[in-house]
Structure 1
Amino acid sequence: MTIKNSDTLIVSSRWKQKADNLLAKTDFVADLSRYGTVHFTGAYKYNLMMHGDIDLSVVRERPFTTEEVFNIFKDLYFKGKFRSYFIGGDWDDPRKGREFPEGYYVGLKEKIDGERWKIDVWFVSEKEYEKRSTDERRMNNLTHEERALVLSCKEHRNNHKLSITGQEIY
């Protein structure tokens, strides 16, 4: 089934509302705020959601240590608000600093009404976060037509199970 461009904005806003409900139900932002400033990124931030994927960064002045991230992971795990928890163990991944931020990754998964949801959390320094925020002005100023085009591309990707990231589409 193909959604018309005019309908993609409605579909996207429904995904955003579901994301808001998940975040409210779990009080996740409050939990993360104990460790730094929470910044939403990606499709959630720019109202370009077409599936259950929320990206965010927890930012503070100095870089997080491995031990701190393990303790945060443990705290989140024992709260038991999500179905699955995982932590990035590829600390020396060559994509860090390019495709991925210099920092630590924690992922959470949940299933709501049969839909799979994933929350990607990066723990990064202010310096790293600022370095990665260069596209913010462009993304905040998308026209209605550009937004509809991005959503149509994401819909096509999802319908055809293509391995294309949102960043590549933007």
Structure 2
Amino acid sequence: MSIILEENNKKIIREANEILYTLGLHDLLKKFSNPHVSGSYHLKIMTWRDLDIYLVSDTINNDNFFELGKEISHMLEPSKMSFRNEMIGKTPHLPKGLYWGVHTSLFEQQWKIDIWSIDAKEFNEKQYVTEEIKIQLHDTNRNTILELKNLLHDHPKYRKVFFSVDIYDAVLNDHIDCIQSFEKWLYIKRGIDL
């Protein structure tokens, strides 16, 4: 199983690199701010086609963020794009910033690309957490994370009431090593019943 998941991880990362550097999304984002690709791409533990990108800016506003959205729509031809202003919304667990959620078909696959514009302070806090996770990864726990994410990626509660960070926390800090243990962990730690 882990060999298949690792091959899938590498394939998705190659596709992500095509989007970022061959199609030119990274250069497009640089016109508006300082982009940082984060999440499972940065950690090299991808199980589905979902890119998390932060634009670090203290000055971006609705006008130029909508201009960015227009250029993204021309470049990636999404079937759907959603906008959020979490400077106003302040939804718990979401960054305080502006957001484009881009759903598009590339390489005959469905991709979701999350683009957040946040200030440097918030980015540094998020990046610190990501780097702490990266430091703790080794072959065994990395394989466990890939397996859990693969098993759970289409669970109806995933990304709604529990998230990738819960999987990372369970595996890296509490040495959870299988789906049954994770289900127990999630119930004990978060009160979530799968």
C-alpha contact (below 8 Å) 1:101/1:132 kept by paired residues: no
Q: Which residue is equivalent to 2:10?
A: 13
d(CA) in 2 for partners of 1:22 and 1:72?
Answer: 16
Aligned: 1:144 with 2:139 = yes
Shift of 1:129: 0.6
Aligned: 1:73 with 2:75 = no
Q: Secondary structure at the match of 1:76?
A: helix
Paired residues, number: 163
**More deviation, 115-124/23-32:** 23-32
Aligned: 1:109 with 2:103 = yes
Q: Which residue is equivalent to 2:128?
A: 134
TM-score (norm 2): 0.74
Which has the bigger relative contact order, CA under 8 A and spacing at least 6?
1
Aligned: 1:124 with 2:118 = yes
Q: Which runs of 5+ in 1 are unaligned?
A: none
> Could you say what the CA RMSD is over the residues aligned between the two structures, in angstroms?
2.1
User: 1:24 is matched by which residue type in structure 2?
Assistant: Y
Q: Secondary structure at the match of 1:64?
A: coil
C-alpha contact (below 8 Å) 1:56/1:121 kept by paired residues: yes
Q: Which runs of 5+ in 2 are unaligned?
A: 169-194
Aligned: 1:32 with 2:5 = no
Distance 1:24 1:137, change over 3 A: closer
Shift of 1:156: 0.7
Larger Cα Rg: Structure 1 or Structure 2? 2
Q: Secondary structure at the match of 1:24?
A: helix
Q: Which runs of 4+ in 1 moved over 6 A?
A: none
User: 1:165 is matched by which residue type in structure 2?
Assistant: F
d(CA) in 2 for partners of 1:87 and 1:118?
Answer: 13
